[in-house]
Amino acid sequence: MKTKQILIALGILLILGAYLYFGEIRKKQAEERKKAEANALVYGINKDDVTEVVIKNKEAGELKMLKAGNEWKIEEPPVYGNKATIETMIDKFIKAEAERKIENANPADYGLDLPEVTCRFVTKDGEEREIYIGNDNPTGSYVYAAKKGNAAAVYIINSSLKLNAAKGTDNFRFKGALMFGQDDVTKIKVNLKEKKYTLEKKDGSWHIVSPLSKPAKKERVTSLISSYRTSSAMEIIKPDKAALKKYKIGDTGEYLEFYEGNKKHVFKFGKFDKEKKQYYAKGSLTGEIMKFGEFVYTGVPKLDEVESKQLVIFDQDVITKFEAEYGEHLLSAEKEKDSWQIKKAKGISGSQKKNINLPSLVSTVYWLEYKKAEKDTGDAERYSVYGLVPGKGKIRLYGKKQKLLGTIILGETSGDNENFYAKVPERGMIYKIPVQFIKNLNLPGLE
């Protein structure tokens, strides 16, 4: 009998719990959603779903922006939009909440009968949200706004929304001369007075292919690509005949070409304003004349700067094993998932092992650049002078599936005591490298 009563009581508790959740809690959630909707200026749509924005400004006229794939385009004038600027504005409107709301208001009292700015947001599913923005409040910190279909409900919102929306085409357009994906570039041709070379991407790595054949430093190439992707013009000028002549576009014969497969993007240099230290140039995206700071020219690396001077060519994220062998010492470490573990240690105490920074070791080797390089001819006498047989020590780097990527044999210091010799058998080269490298490794007993 008691068991039956307990089960009945439990059943009643479950029913009450279900009622509380499905009734009271859901009711509270619905009330919170209703309150959020009431205070929100734009409600019920996501930033990523917006594909059309129309801004009507009493002074600047109408601005229509359409999303095409992952990019935005302005309808008139037909130019690309600035993706970050447009989507930031959309996000701010969606997240905006009223500081206060005035019900049963007269729209004319707040400048909403003839709004200064109208913003319409349209989603890919055809949902629309239209906002009217009227006068500033007496302090100037806020403005009055209303939603389409309910102009009598006036929202007091931050004035920054109005300021951003009212800036016109120049604020929302893309001001770069070129447009391409950071990782999509496969070839770069540099043709400047004192900088002439061609780079190509092969199997994920960058190489100099003209006027010589050598590996290129990844970071310097990606930095060059990034600078031209993100450079924003200080001024944009219509490319009529008079302007093209005035700013000498194409006359200098200096240019950069970026390739995405067979698709070519060209940046042509024109006149240099020595006083203002600014270049006039034209990109193939719109053909307009644009003015940039001198960095677009001076920031292009020289051939010897773009050349990779790594002893072993590798990317840090592909290293799975690191070995260092010197004197009576041995260190062998492997990367397991995202963590480095010491597998073998000889001549290294427990406390010393704790102080070894394994990611830093790999990074130190990665950023090591030689001062001078010479072919390894197998000259035994030279090996002896350079201290490369047997050598002071060896560093080995392994990639995926324990593939040996390179061996660095450490030799003696050179005559200047600022560098020492090193040999990489896999590349058939002998290098001079800074003695600071040994200190930066910070391996116990390696001097």
Domain range annotation of the chain = 47-172, 187-306, 316-441
- Selected residue with higher pLDDT from 168 and 115: 115
**In the sheet that 278-283 helps form, which strands lie side by side, from edge to edge?**
214-215, 205-210, 195-202, 187-192, 255-260, 263-273, 278-283, 289-293, 235-237
Task: Give the SS3 label for residue 90.
Answer: helix
- 29 has pLDDT over 90: no
Q: Which residue has the tokens 């909403």?
A: 112
* 85 HSE (CA, 13 A, CB side): 19
Taking the model in full, what pTM does it have? 0.80
Give the separation between CA 397 and CA 394, rounded to whole angstroms: 10
- Binned at pLDDT 50, 70 and 90, residue 59 comes out as confident
Averaged pLDDT for residues 160-166: 90
Is the distance from CB of 66 to CB of 73 less than 8 angstroms? Answer: yes
Task: Quote the percentage of the chain above a pLDDT of 90.
Answer: 78
Averaged pLDDT for residues 347-358: 93
Structure tokens at 346: 């000889």
- 30 has pLDDT over 70: no
- Long-range contacts made by residues 12-20, C-beta under 8 angstroms, separation at least 24? none
Radius of gyration of the chain from Cα atoms?
A: 33
- 281 has pLDDT over 90: yes
- Determine the pLDDT at residue 4: 66
- Determine the pLDDT at residue 44: 86
Structure tokens at 318: 């592909």
- 1 has pLDDT over 60: no
DSSP string, 219-257: HHHHHHHHHHHH---SEEE---HHHHHHTTTTTS--EEE
Burial (CB count <10 Å: 0-12, 13-18, 19+), residue 402:
exposed
- 23 has pLDDT over 70: no
Q: In the predicted model, what is the mean pLDDT of the chain? A: 91
In the chain, what is the greatest distance between 2 CA atoms, to the nearest angstrom?
Answer: 104
- DSSP secondary structure letter of residue 18: H
- 97 has pLDDT over 60: yes
CA dihedral sign of residues 129, 132, 138, 140: positive
pLDDT tens-digit series, residues 361-396:
999 999 999 999 999 999 999 999 999 998 999 999
Phi, psi of 180 (to 5 degrees): -160, 165
pLDDT tens-digit series, residues 409-441:
999 998 888 999 999 999 999 999 999 999 999
Averaged pLDDT for residues 303-315: 94
Highest mean pLDDT among 207-211, 284-288, 415-419: 207-211
Burial (CB count <10 Å: 0-12, 13-18, 19+), residue 296:
buried
Give the separation between CA 21 and CA 30, rounded to whole angstroms: 12
Give the separation between CA 69 and CA 77, rounded to whole angstroms: 19
- DSSP secondary structure letter of residue 301: P
Task: Quote the percentage of the chain above a pLDDT of 70.
Answer: 92
Please name the helix (run of DSSP H) or strand (run of DSSP E) that holds residue 438, with its range, or none. Answer: helix 436-441
Cα 378 versus chain centre, distance: 45
- Determine the pLDDT at residue 160: 92
- Determine the pLDDT at residue 199: 98
Is the distance from CB of 172 to CB of 86 less than 8 angstroms? Answer: yes
Neighbours of 123 (CB within 10 A): 17
Give the separation between CA 93 and CA 227, rounded to whole angstroms: 30
- Determine the pLDDT at residue 60: 74
- Nearest alpha carbon to residue 156 among 41, 234, 37: 41
- Binned at pLDDT 50, 70 and 90, residue 58 comes out as confident
